[in-house]
Amino acid sequence: MDSRVFSKKVINKGRGDAPTKGSLAFFLVKGYYFETKTVTHPSPKLDQKHGHLFFDADAMMARPMELPLGDHSTVQGLDAALMTMKEGEEASVTVPSQFGYPRGSPQGFHGMGKPIPPNCHLLFQVSVLKVWNKATVGRHKRMCSVLAQPSEQ
């Protein structure tokens, strides 16, 4: 794993194995951005007091996030960090601007207010609640598709 994609400070250790590509993670997350004109280089010492809150899964959705890992369906640095986190782990994850919303990115992600400017460093407070491995995810999908089929009468 390229250590330039993110840095992680573990707050509480998790248990079990780290997820693999295709695992499904259920997690709580708060995201903050830091404009590069005020913070020239991200470090694990960034804290939410000095950032702009742009995402809070609990406040916005009233439930945990659910995300397939390793398919780049979220910020590259967050996806890479989640691939290293175990069930029950809490961590502070710092993502440099080029692995978040890099220069040239459209100002489209609004989060909890105005658009996030491109080329900002990001800080995520992440708490992984549950991780399903790829085999478990496959069984769950098959079971859901069987249950969704109309019953014959």
In the chain, how many domains are there? 1
Residue 72, in any domain of the structure: yes
Segment 5-20 shows an average pLDDT of: 91
Q: What is the DSSP letter of 35?
A: E
CATH number for the domain spanning 125: value is: 3.10.50.40
Range with the largest mean pLDDT of 15-24, 80-89, 133-142:
80-89
pTM of the model: 0.77
Residue 142, in any domain of the structure: yes
pLDDT of residue 43: 54
> CA separation (Å) from 66 to 26, 41, 69, 100, 143?
5, 30, 10, 19, 18
Task: Please tell me the distance from the alpha carbon of residue 95 to that of residue 59, in angstroms, as a whole number.
Answer: 22
Percentage, residues of the chain above pLDDT 70: 67
Task: Please tell me the distance from the alpha carbon of residue 61 to that of residue 58, in angstroms, as a whole number.
Answer: 6
> CA separation (Å) from 77 to 7, 96, 117, 137, 139?
9, 8, 17, 23, 29
Task: Please tell me the distance from the alpha carbon of residue 99 to that of residue 8, in angstroms, as a whole number.
Answer: 14
Residue 153, in any domain of the structure: no
- For 79-135, the pLDDT digits (tens) are 999 999 999 999 999 998 888 876 666 555 666 666 777 778 889 999 999 998 877
Task: Please tell me the distance from the alpha carbon of residue 118 to that of residue 34, in angstroms, as a whole number.
Answer: 10
- Supply the range of the domain harboring residue 11: 7-148
pLDDT of residue 105: 62
Residue 30, in any domain of the structure: yes
